[in-house]
Chain A
Amino acid sequence: MTDIAFPAARPRNSFFRRNRLVIMPLLFIAPAFGMFSLFVIYPIAQSIALSFIEWQGIGPKKWIGFQNYIMLFNDPVFWKSLVNNIYWLVLFLLAPVIGLFVALYLNQKVFGIRLIKSLFFFPFVVSQVVVGLVFTWFYDPAFGLIATILKPLGLQLPSILASEDWATFGVITAGLWPQTAYCMILYLTGLNSVNPEMVEAARLDGAKGWNLLVKIVLPQLRAATFIAIVVTVIGALRSFDLVAIMTEGGPYNSSNVLAFYMYDNAIFRYRVGYAAAIATILFLIMDIYIVWFLMRLLKNEKGTR
């Protein structure tokens, strides 16, 4: 009866039923993928396209091919920013190292250790704006904390953030604080799953301290190390907030980084195409790590459902 009453419904319904294992995942994924495409993927393509254009943000656009890139490679500020990004990258890798040692230091069972561990993690939860403000103020040559401590010792602190030589390092130090906390928590979690029998067996064989760490424990922490390095590198390349809060790239661009230089060009100098070219370079550098991450993921995916 129902078949006759609703002749059109059945074939449509059965097509859907037969193919639901193909259609449903697409329906599930579509909203997220749509939003992601609109706000993330399409803009990437647009930015790359913009990097070949001369444009002030409004008014006519002019196709100029690789002109922006040629200008970029002749721009000392670009090179300075790139070098600073490399400083960030290299020095930021201290975060996984220090994070590991802090984690080893805290990986004990004594009274109150849980609270201490979470307090150590605290910096990561605080906004970088706040971190930037606090450190700016530590560094102040007249009434900063560091100057105050050094004064009785007869030492005078150079004005860190106003010094062309020191500004970048001052900002990086501020960034290392929350980043180390992040790596520490990754390692603390990793240490939880280190196989105690292997450690004991190695101890019986006479392995101690450093040897035990390098040969037995670190290999078991590989997943934590991998993710710590990835997030640290990405964090270093993304460095924007602290530079914007602490120095705005100054003095004389000495603490500029690609991310901030790009923003500066797009918003304050109306060189939108040029800014897009800087962003594209930054994107290309970051792609190395993205591909690395994906390759590793693909390797791990094989063999799962």
Chain B
Amino acid sequence: MFPRPIQEASASRQLLYKIGLPISLVIWLLPMIAIIATAGRSLSDINYGNYWGIPSEWAFVDNFSAVFNSSPILWYLVNSVIITVPAIIGTLFLSTLAGAGLALYKFKGHFVIFAIFIAGNFVPYQILMIPVRHLTVNLGIYDTYWAVILFQMAFQTGFCTFFMRNFIAELPFELVESARSEGVSEWKILIHIIVPLVRPALAALAVLEFTFVWNDFFWPLILIQSDEIRPITLGLTTLKGQYISSFNLLAAGSLIAALPPVMMFFAMQRHFIAGLTLGASKG
């Protein structure tokens, strides 16, 4: 193990480490702690300039209900869900198919197609921006949920295909070979053998994609105009204008926006990290 286990260190160093951990954690999370504390700060504290001191009273309930009552944040949240869920399902469907196609068969141009999916995933968004905007206008879906859903589905398929292909390539290939020699159709092999085996990969991707699509700011900014269908990331910038002097409300809004991906992360941590680090073991 590297570095040397702290248990082997002197008692004083062990103590130092154990005290140091929470302190460093607090410093590291200071921005989050600040936002949480501010979301619970009362308006009178803000008016008296008590921005960072100990709050004179806690006003979480007041602030959160104020945000929900005075802004369409609930709708922003609903919009985020409406965009994120179908985008993830579509992405997983497309990339499972494509990943299996790339992993289970040998054919000419195999690496080229694989490389295109990966390379596309690293492309700067800006080079896609103008044509994708026009494409959605031409398809008649500009300024609808579909514009963002379809784009995210297409774009995220790049990374997910890379992931699925690597995952499927690691599965025991004999399963597929013996099914083939029994005369099972390729389609049935996919549905009855591959899909049950890739469920952990699908879970990992679903969690990871949830945070990617939920947190995305750029594409809704480009593809959505109407306030009614804005997701929460875009909605927050609207709130920023609305709550220009009520930081406590803006902080509460930010917390609400951050909550779903954070909850997802803590509930599905293992999957999340598996999704992130697959590339690390493969690179």
Contact = CB atoms under 8 A, between A and B. Distances in A.
A86 interface: no
Interface string B124-144: 111111111001000000000
A41 B116 contact: yes
B1 A305 contact: no
Interface in B149-200: 150-151, 153-155, 157-158, 161, 169, 173, 185-187, 190
A107 B128 contact: no
A230 interface: yes
Contacts of A46: 130-131
Contacts of B281: 189, 193, 223
A30 to B, nearest CB: 8
Given A126-B261, A148-B51, A199 B1 contact: yes
A108 B8 CA distance: 11
Interface stretch (B58-66, B67-75, B265-273): B265-273
B122 A293 contact: yes
A234 B121 CA distance: 10
Contacts of A290: 119, 122-123
A259 B124 contact: yes
Contact of B102 (A25, A42, A289): A25
Interface residues of B, number: 96
A35 B153 contact: yes
Contacts of B97: 28-29, 31-32
A108 B5 contact: yes
B94 A35 contact: yes
A78 B119 CA distance: 26
Interface in A5-55: 20-22, 24-29, 31-33, 35-36, 38-44, 46-48, 50
Q: Which of the listed residues A27, A42, A107, A134 has the most CB atoms from chain B within 10 Å of its own CB?
A: A134
A118 B266 contact: yes
Given A130-B35, A138-B34, A122 B135 contact: no
B126 A134 contact: no
B34 A279 contact: no
A216 to B, nearest CB: 8
Contacts of A32: 94-95, 97-98, 117, 157, 161
A43 B269 CA distance: 35
Contacts of A199: 1-2
B236 interface: yes
Given A29-B113, A105-B24, A227-B283, A137 B247 contact: yes
A148 B95 contact: no
Interface string A234-253: 10011011001100000000
Contacts of A262: 126, 129
A118 B269 contact: yes
Contact of A280 (B2, B106, B127, B150): B127
Contacts of A107: 1-3
Given A28-B101, A46-B131, A128-B217, A259 B237 contact: no
B124 A191 contact: no
Contacts of B115: 294, 297-298
Contact of B254 (A31, A105, A134): A134
A120 interface: yes
A297 B128 CA distance: 25
A130 to B, nearest CB: 5
Contact of A50 (B130, B211, B237): B130
A286 B127 CA distance: 11
A293 B123 CA distance: 12
Given A31-B97, A275-B130, A241 B217 contact: yes
A161 to B, nearest CB: 14
Nearest to A105: B24
B2 A130 contact: no
Nearest to A114: B269
A182 B214 CA distance: 17
B276 A126 contact: no
Interface in B1-44: 1-3, 5-7, 17-18, 21-22, 24-25, 28-32, 34-35
27 contacts: A20-B186, A22-B105, A24-B187, A29-B97, A35-B94, A36-B116, A41-B116, A108-B6, A109-B7, A116-B21, A119-B28, A125-B264, A130-B35, A148-B52, A189-B280, A194-B1, A199-B2, A216-B2, A230-B283, A262-B126, A262-B129, A272-B130, A283-B127, A293-B118, A297-B118, A300-B283, A301-B111
Interface of B: 1-3, 5-7, 17-18, 21-22, 24-25, 28-32, 34-35, 49, 51-52, 94-95, 97-98, 100-102, 104-107, 111, 113, 115-120, 122-132, 135, 150-151, 153-155, 157-158, 161, 169, 173, 185-187, 190, 211, 214-215, 217-218, 221, 233, 236-237, 240, 247, 250, 254, 257-258, 261-262, 264-266, 269, 273, 276-277, 279-283
5 smallest CB-CB distances across A and B, nearest first, come from A28-B101, A39-B154, A43-B131, A32-B98, A25-B105
